[in-house]
């Protein structure tokens, strides 16, 4: 009996269904038309969201992946469709987000000839993908997609690009889908030996002032529960990187705040006072460490990461363990002694009090009838208990969100960390809402960043996606202005914005909205936003020249925190 | 302190592998001194031999980043004392020169050999260390070298197995 044949394009759709994909974000064009044609027959099984720009598609896929822990999927056409994905690929790569992008390519006979809409997608995306591959035969489609999903989500996750020539999409092939379980040159699950853990536990048990730093690795390995148990047994003060926020609830007694340039005073300063520093699933980014030559020099460092290349890359570790966070925490749990560290935790609390007193002084300088960014985030926390999904863009409001919204639930903190991509929040929030339809999703953006992917309001309208949006409008590229004020003698070179009528724009997309500027209106407006049945846009006019503090200037040490 | 290292990178035989590998060096602003690629003792497993100057600390980081590539099996770094290595050079000179005994003597003393004798030119082959290859070049220079080419380094480990 002869096996039935299908087209390569049909194989793409079938393979995605075999991978249990339910949602795809994309934008069609010439080179991917056969795939869109095959999709036409499967619209009931595969929900395709038509975005307004391919950058919107990939950020949406990232938001989807971050909230759901699954792989986000993108369709784009060749040439400009593919190049519009580049920022999102770089973002997903540096933030370890599992995304699979399926891109159409010119027919294989034309490869390398500068054909219409031909770009060397493999070459361009190579340094910003975990893996990429060009498919020129229909028979390669199923195994390549299987491999792509396996690579995107295993080990340290990341984006994968599959570039499929048009002839491969048209050609006939048999289809027999086998999930990929192994790639011989790739070892995603480290097999750490016990010795490292024993040494680590010894250091932790003996330490007077041990300090735990967590990163997104906890979230990616779904180790939140193991983390909580470990922290409660060891009594460790615990601070988080930007992307780790939410892994340990903000309201947990051992949670000591955020690390880094705009992190918390005590969280940073104590790095240089602890005797043992335990880092799990974080990579000592320069925004976290400040000057590395003056970072935790007094401490014995234990570094645990799933990516061996991160160990000893920035900070030399006394004990470096190549392991998955969940496995590491489970193993350590059996080796550590129960401890309290009450006094040491108290030092963090005192640091926090000091910070708050100082910051309150800054606040007094502002007109109390006007709204400061932090007010909005505090009200949002009060009204939601810190249990909704908050997607922030990049800039002052991002840092203020991280500092003032209390992430009390895992997988609810979505922001562009490593790349700092303005324009991320709106599309990522769209993806997050689709990845977790039952949760409230609020995008927080600045007036500038919101306009970087403002076209995605069209996606919200067409697919009726209930995303809530807050624009914190200071009529400035606020973060850049802050630096100009502090380090460039207030020479505000091209940072002031003349903005459109945001609420009017939303209304043209059939999205209700409101604009407020007085403190007295704040609470009610946020209630209205949260209670709106679908999408809603709230524009909040905030203080124009507010600065984010604390701040560790570039090149300073984590001990040199500026509070005003 | 920087010194010479030889990296052996074992990979799948896939399109674009060379770019993936060189990208890691490019990102860290490292200039390669030589690069040789061929199939290894294992069928379908390729070996990239990369020579460049670096520090032990940087080498450790590079190994991590190379091994992170999905299609890289394993990377080994060696100092020159730990490997047996050679390079190969070809020199083209005018056939007339053969009548000059001095040239023949240089070839013999350099432990080079004549590969081809054409009506107009001869091709000389020399395998050895880079210094030896350069020294032969210098000696032949005064007689006129028509063409010269040198390969990248090939190396095997002095340990019984890698
Ligand atoms: C795509 C991109 N371009 C430029 C920057 C540099 N940048 C970082 S923050 C910022 C200002 C953001 O302004 P806004 O969105 O209004 O937010 P605010 O800082 O005022 O809260 C800029 C321009 C960036 N991060 N991303």
- Neighbouring C-beta atoms of residue B20, cutoff 10 Å: 19
CATH code for position B55 = 3.30.70.260
Q: How confident is the model at residue B43 (pLDDT cuts 50, 70, 90)?
A: very high
Protein residue with its CA nearest to atom 9 in ligand 1: A395
End-to-end CA distance of chain B: give it in Å, rounded.
Answer: 26
Q: How far is A345 from chain B (nearest CA, A)?
A: 35
CA distance B117 to chain A (A): 41
- The rounded distance, in Å, linking the Cα atoms of B33 and B50 is 8
Looking at residue A429, its pLDDT comes to 98
Indicate if B68 and B7 belong to the same structural domain: yes
From atom 23 of ligand 1, which residue's Cα is the shortest distance away? Answer: A477
Residue of A22, A117, A439, A485 with catalytic role:
A117
Segment 291-330 of chain A within 8 Å of chain B by CB? 307-313
The protein residue whose alpha carbon is closest to atom 24 in ligand 1 is A422
Q: Does B114 reside within a domain?
A: yes
Assess if CATH 3.40.50.970 describes domain A5-174: yes
- Which residue in the block uniquely carries the two structure tokens 């099984």? A45
**CATH superfamily of the A367-541 domain:** Thiamin diphosphate (ThDP)-binding fold, Pyr/PP domains (3.40.50.970)
Q: Is B162 among the domain residues?
A: no
Q: Is residue B160 part of a domain?
A: no
Distance from CA of A131 to the nearest CA of B (A): 7
A35 lines ligand 1 (CB under 6 A): no
Is the CB of residue A97 below 6 angstroms from any atom belonging to ligand 1? Answer: no
Query: What's the pLDDT tens digit per position in A409-426?
Result: 999 999 999 999 999 999
CB-closest option in B16, B68, B70 to A183: B70
The answer to whether residue B14 is domain-embedded is yes
Residues forming beta bridges with residue A347, ordered by sequence position: none
The per-residue pLDDT for range B5-30, each reduced to its tens digit, is 999 999 999 999 999 999 999 999 99
At CA A426, angle to CA A420 and CA A432, rounded to 5? 95
Q: Over range A176-197, report the average pLDDT.
A: 96
A116 is catalytic: yes
Nearest Cα residue to B156 out of B34, B47, B66: B47
With pLDDT > 90 as the criterion, what percentage of chain A qualifies? 98
Domain co-membership, B49 together with B101: no
Cβ of A447 less than 6 Å from ligand 1: yes
Q: Across the strands, what pairs with A444?
A: A392, A470
The answer to whether residues B51 and B123 belong to one domain is: no
- Residue B126 phi/psi, 5° resolution? -135, 125
Question: Please, how many CA atoms are within 13 Å of residue B86, restricted to the half-sphere of its CB?
Answer: 6
C-alpha–C-alpha distance, residues A277 and A300, integer Å? 6
Q: Check residue B159 and give its pLDDT.
A: 86
**Which residues in chain B have their CB less than 8 angstroms from residue A312's CB?**
60-61
Q: Do A127 and B23 touch (CB under 8 A)?
A: yes
At CB < 8 A and 24+ separation, what contacts does A356-365 make? Answer: A358/A265, A358/A549, A358/A563, A358/A564, A359/A549, A359/A550, A359/A563, A359/A564, A361/A564, A362/A547, A362/A549, A362/A563, A362/A564
Q: How many CA atoms lie within 13 A of A552 on its CB side?
A: 28
pLDDT at A392: 98
Q: Which of A398, A477, A543 to mutate to test the pocket of ligand 1 (most atoms within 8 A of CB)?
A: A477
B1 pLDDT band, cuts 50/70/90, is: confident
Measured in whole angstroms, the distance separating CA A88 from the mean position of its chain's CA atoms is 11
- B90 domain residue, yes or no: yes
Peptide bond into A550 cis (omega under 30): yes
A515 is catalytic: no
What confidence category does residue A2 fall into, taking pLDDT thresholds of 50, 70 and 90?
low
In the predicted model, what is the mean pLDDT of chain B? 95
Q: Which of B61, B70, B72 to mutate to test the interface with A (most CBs of A within 10 A)?
A: B70
Average pLDDT over residues A468-480: 98
Q: Which atom of ligand 1 is nearest to the CA of A373?
A: 21
pLDDT digits (tens, 9 = 90+) for A515-527: 999 999 999 999 9
**pLDDT at position A555:** 93
Query: Does the pLDDT value for residue B98 go beyond 90?
Result: no
The Cα–Cα gap between A25 and A61 comes to: 7
Does B125 map to a domain? yes
Report whether A458 contacts A509 (CB < 8 A).
yes
How sure is the predictor about A3, in pLDDT bands with cuts at 50, 70 and 90? confident
Whether residue A1 has pLDDT greater than 60: no
Q: Is A449 in the pocket of ligand 1 (CB under 6 A)?
A: yes
Q: Which of residues 71-130 of B touch A (CB under 8 A)?
A: 71-73
CB contact under 8 A, A151 and B70: yes
Whether residue B78 is found in the same domain as residue B90: no
ipTM: 0.91
Q: What does the pLDDT look like over A320-346, one tens digit per residue?
A: 999 999 999 999 999 999 999 999 999
3-state secondary structure of B68: coil
Do B65 and B103 lie in one domain? The reply is: no
**Chain segment A102-126, per-residue pLDDT in tens:** 999 999 999 999 999 999 999 999 9
For B145, phi then psi, to 5°, come to: -105, 125
Using the mean position of ligand 1's atoms as its centre, give its distance from the Cα of residue A480 in Å.
7
Asked if pLDDT for residue B82 goes beyond 90, the answer is: yes
DSSP string, B78-114: EEGGGEEEEEEEEEEEEGGGGGSHHHHHHHHHTT-EE
CA angle A536, A541, A543 (to 5 degrees): 145
Task: State whether residue A195 sits within 8 Å of chain B by CB.
Answer: no
Residue B145 lies in a domain: yes
Of B83, B114, B145, the last residue of a domain is B83
| Residue from A372, A391, A394 whose mutation best tests the ligand 1 pocket (most atoms within 8 A of CB) | A394
Among A5, A45, A109, A116, the one annotated catalytic: A116
Q: Is A373 in the pocket of ligand 1 (CB under 6 A)?
A: no
Residue B95 belongs to some domain of the structure: yes
The finding on whether A395 has its CB within 6 A of some atom of ligand 1 is yes
Q: For residue A272, what is the DSSP state?
A: G
Catalytic residue list contains A543: no
Closest CA to A246 of A85, A442, A407, A435: A407
**Does residue B17 share a domain with residue B72?**
yes
Place of tokens 């701040």: A551
Tell me, yes or no, whether B72 and B88 share the same domain: no
Q: Are residues B14 and B69 in the same domain?
A: yes
Give one DSSP letter per residue of A438-507, joined into a string: TS-EEEEEEHHHHTTSGGGHHHHHHHT---EEEEEE-SB-HHHHHHHHHHSTT---S-B-----HHHHHH
Domain around B134: 84-155
Distance CA A38, CA B103 (A): 72
| Binding site membership of A86 for ligand 1 (Cβ less than 6 Å) | no
The answer on B78 and B15 residing in a single domain is yes
Ligand 1 atom closest to the Cα of residue A474 is 20
**Number of domains comprising chain B:** 2
Does the annotation mark A54 as catalytic? Answer: yes
Structural domain ending residue among the three candidates B60, B83, B106: B83
Same structural domain, B88 and B78: no
- With 80 as the cut, is the pLDDT of residue B95 above it? yes
**What residue segments make up the domains of chain A, in order of their start?**
5-174, 194-348, 367-541
Say yes or no: CB of residue A421 within 6 Å of ligand 1: yes
Q: Strands A210-214, A276-280: parallel, antiparallel or unpaired by DSSP?
A: parallel
CATH of A194-348, one of 3.40.50.1220, 1.10.1660.10, 3.30.70.141, 3.40.718.10: 3.40.50.1220
Least Cα separation, residue B57 to chain A (angstroms): 9
The SS3 call for residue A217 is helix
Please tell me if the domain spanning A5-174 has the same topology as the one spanning A194-348. Answer: yes
- Residue range A279-293, pLDDT digits in tens: 999 999 999 999 999
Beta bridge partners of B39: B46
Q: Which residue of A has its CA nearest to B45?
A: A185
């Amino acid at each position: 009996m002869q096996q039935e044949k299908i087209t390569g394009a049909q194989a793409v759709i079938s393979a995605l269904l075999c991978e249990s994909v339910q949602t795809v974000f994309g934008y069609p064009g010439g080179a991917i038309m056969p795939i869109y044609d095959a999709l036409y027959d499967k619209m009931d099984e595969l929900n395709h969201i038509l975005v307004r720009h391919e950058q919107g598609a990939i950020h949406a896929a990232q938001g989807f992946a971050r909230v759901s822990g699954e792989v986000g999927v993108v369709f784009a056409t060749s040439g400009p469709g593919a190049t519009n994905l580049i920022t999102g690929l770089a973002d997903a790569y540096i933030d370890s987000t599992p995304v699979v992008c399926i891109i159409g390519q010119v027919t294989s006979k034309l490869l390398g000839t500068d054909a219409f809409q031909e770009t060397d997608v493999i070459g361009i995306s190579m340094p910003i993908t975990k893996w990429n591959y060009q498919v020129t035969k229909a028979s390669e489609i199923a195994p390549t997609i299987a491999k792509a999903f396996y690579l995107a989500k295993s080990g340290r996750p990341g984006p994968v690009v599959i570039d499929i020539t048009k002839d491969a999409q048209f050609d006939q092939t048999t289809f027999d889908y086998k999930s990929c379980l192994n790639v011989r040159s790739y070892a995603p699950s480290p097999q750490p030996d016990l010795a490292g853990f024993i040494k680590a536990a010894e250091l932790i048990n003996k330490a007077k002032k041990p300090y735990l730093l967590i990163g997104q690795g906890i979230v990616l390995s779904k180790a939140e529960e193991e983390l909580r148990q470990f922290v409660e047994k060891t009594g460790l003060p615990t601070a988080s990187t930007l992307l780790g926020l939410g892994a340990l609830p903000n309201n947990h007694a051992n949670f000591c705040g955020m690390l880094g340039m705009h992190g918390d005073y005590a969280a940073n300063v104590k790095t240089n006072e602890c005797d043992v520093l335990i880092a799990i699933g974080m990579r000592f980014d320069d925004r976290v460490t400040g000057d590395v030559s003056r970072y935790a020099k007094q401490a014995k460092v234990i570094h645990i990461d799933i990516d061996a290349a991160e160990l000893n890359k920035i900070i030399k570790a006394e004990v470096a363990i190549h392991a998955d966070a969940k496995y590491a925490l489970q193993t350590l749990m059996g080796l550590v002694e129960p401890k309290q560290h009450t006094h040491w935790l108290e030092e963090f609390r005192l640091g926090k009090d000091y910070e708050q007193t100082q910051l309150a002084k800054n606040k007094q300088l502002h007109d109390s009838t006007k709204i400061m960014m932090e007010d909005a985030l505090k009200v949002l926390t009060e009204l939601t208990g810190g249990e909704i999904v908050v997607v922030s863009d990049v800039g002052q409001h991002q840092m203020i969100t991280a500092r003032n919204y209390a992430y009390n639930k895992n997988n609810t903190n979505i922001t562009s960390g490593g790349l700092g991509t303005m324009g991320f929040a709106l599309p990522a929030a769209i993806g997050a809402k689709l990845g977790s339809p039952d949760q409230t999703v609020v995008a927080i953006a600045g007036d500038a960043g919101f306009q970087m992917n403002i076209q995605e309001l069209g996606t919200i309208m067409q697919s009726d996606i209930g995303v809530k949006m807050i624009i914190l409008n200071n009529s400035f590229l606020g973060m850049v202005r802050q630096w100009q004020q502090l380090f460039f003698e207030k020479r505000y070179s091209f940072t002031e914005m003349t903005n459109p009528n945001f609420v009017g724009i939303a209304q043209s997309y059939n999205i209700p909205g409101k604009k407020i500027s007085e403190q007295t209106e704040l609470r009610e407006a946020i209630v209205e936003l949260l209670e709106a049945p679908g999408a809603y846009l709230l524009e909040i006019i905030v203080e124009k020249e507010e600065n984010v503090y604390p701040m560790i200037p570039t090149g300073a040490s984590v001990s040199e925190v500026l509070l005003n | 302190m920087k010194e010479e290292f030889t990296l052996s990178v074992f990979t799948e035989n896939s399109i674009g592998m060379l770019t993936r590998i060189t990208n890691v060096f490019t990102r860290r602003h490292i200039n390669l001194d030589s690069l040789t690629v061929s199939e290894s003792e294992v069928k379908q497993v390729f070996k990239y031999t990369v020579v460049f100057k670096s520090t032990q600390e940087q080498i450790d980081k590079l190994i991590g980043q190379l091994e992170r590539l999905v299609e890289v099996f394993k990377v080994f770094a060696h100092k020159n004392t730990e490997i047996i290595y050679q390079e190969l050079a070809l020199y083209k000179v005018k056939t007339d020169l053969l009548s000059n005994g001095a040239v023949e003597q240089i070839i013999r003393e350099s432990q080079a050999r004549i590969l081809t004798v054409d009506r107009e030119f001869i091709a000389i082959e020399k395998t050895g260390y880079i210094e030896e290859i350069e020294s032969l070049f210098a000696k032949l220079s005064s007689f006129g070298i028509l063409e010269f080419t040198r390969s990248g380094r090939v190396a095997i480990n002095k340990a019984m197995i890698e």
